[in-house]
Amino acid sequence: MHDACGVVGISLSDTTANVSKQIYYALYALQHRGQESAGIAVHDGKVIRTHRGMGLVSEVFDEAQLGLLRGNVGIGHVRYATTGASCIENSQPLMAKYKDGAVAVAHNGNLINSRELREELQAAGDIFYSTSDTEVMAHIFVKELMRHDLVEAVRGMMRAIRGSYSLVMLLGDMVLGIRDPLGIKPLCIGQVESGYMVASESIAMDTLNGRLIRDVRPGEMVVIRGGEMTSYQLARCQGPNYCVFEYIYFARPDSIMDGRLIYDVRVNIGGMLAEEHPADADTVTPIPDSGITLAVGYHQRSGIRYKECLMKNRYIGRTFIMPDQSMREAAVRLKMNTIRPNIEGHELVLVDDSIVRGTTSRRIVDMVRNAGAKKVHVRIGSPPIVAPCYLGIDMASREELIAAYKTVPGVEAVINADSLGYVSHDGLVKAIGIPREHLCMGCLTGIYPLEIPGEKCQVAQTKITEYIE
């Protein structure tokens, strides 16, 4: 499974301050949300300057580059491609010009009607430079802005687009933070020493020694300018649909999202797994890193000792040279190795966040068996993933999802486990502590909060979005 994107926007009241370093550090904190490209756009008092590149934040920026991005207001983005190819044209922040200036846009999410909107815009003569849906939004916004004031222009854009979007925009010396009416992807507001910020996760604020104020509400736009923040509730829906995978996997455990510490939610999920799927074992161990907090929860609820048995190499970057066939084993062991003395002769509960294709799980189960495990009971902190995500996560196609065509015993056999247990839908909802009707569980149920054009999908409950004048 791949991450989505991370966004940040900061406005400092001191016009002589330089915001680019703060955005850089915030993007570093959000790096887990996307490693494919990174970018920063800063307003220098007159124009917007941007720098974008392929790779990690540390690969894209250096001191000299940040020195050129002068200004006290700016936005940033880290990307994992969900729509559009992996190329520099699709990296963000994306710029769109109009007669009175320019706007830079950073987006986390996925529009489900971007194809038809793009076709309409192209038919009207618009030219696109990327294949991303973010450019579609930028074009619509700019068109609206030529006819209306800012608030009406954003409302007009929101009426046209459908899907998930947590947006950060830079318009002149203003930072805008906008969350879709269902609040599918996260966005929060924080305070830093001399200004305000919006970001995908609260850890971006922690990194800057700032303070989380609250989440951006579904359907809300916040405008930050000159050290002041104003809120506009532009749309209201019958309750949100937060993405459950933020709680299970995407967000960092030290983030607070929609009022919940992700660490606590994952410990709860692990505890729920222990209740629903106890195991006759002597050791609970995580598949690092995402299984760690879940395994802590399983250990606490079951009383079975916790011991790490697998070590991940965190330093394999984008430029890692994939070895040829003869070195394949070395490649696997470079990424993850076993701590043999902790495994040999033991009966393990192996905890992970999800099973997508099943190939990674099989490889790890084989690895711990080869290291001498007597039994391997696999426990998964999400219910089976049975359907793709159309709302911003690049998971896999339906054909690739093992649980879409195999039962739990079928998956158990494929991954070579002695037993396999997934947390139940009810258990997950209870562990998160948010009512089920306020969560998106599309990839776990095949029932989505929105009708997906061109796909035969069920819709949970048609929630009416009201646009507030």
Residues near ligand SF4, by CB under 6 A: 184, 243-245, 389, 391-393, 440-443
- CB of 347 vs ligand SF4, minimal distance in Å: 33
CB 316, min distance to ligand SF4, A: 25
Of the candidates 469, 15, 7, the residue with the CA atom closest to the CA atom of residue 225? 15
Task: Answer yes or no: are the C-beta atoms of 166 and 107 closer than 8 Å.
Answer: yes
Question: H helices of 218-261, where?
Answer: 244-245
**Burial bucket for residue 210 (CB in 10 Å: 0-12, 13-18, 19+):** buried
Dihedral of the alpha carbons of 154, 155, 159, 162, in degrees to the nearest 10? 50
Q: Which is nearer to ligand SF4, 295 or 440 (CB)?
A: 440
Task: Please pick, among 5, 243, 309, 440, the residue that the annotation labels catalytic.
Answer: 5
Closer Cβ to ligand SF4, 381 or 442, answer by number:
442
Q: How far is the CB of 219 from ligand SF4 (least distance, A)?
A: 17
First to last CA, the chain: 40
- Token pair in block for residue 25: 């550090």
Cα 206 to chain centroid distance, Å, stands at 18
CA angle (102, 104, 108) in 5-degree steps = 155
Cα 349 from Cα 189, distance rounded (Å): 39
Closest separation in Å from C-beta 180 to ligand SF4: 11
**CA 157, 158, 163, 169 torsion: positive or negative?**
positive
Please say if 5 is a catalytic residue.
yes
CB nearer to ligand SF4: pick between 196 and 245: 245
Query: Cβ of residue 279: shortest distance to ligand SF4, in angstroms?
Result: 27
Q: Name residue 231's amino acid.
A: S
Q: What does DSSP assign to residue 290?
A: T
Chain center to CA of 30: 9
Residues forming the active site: 5
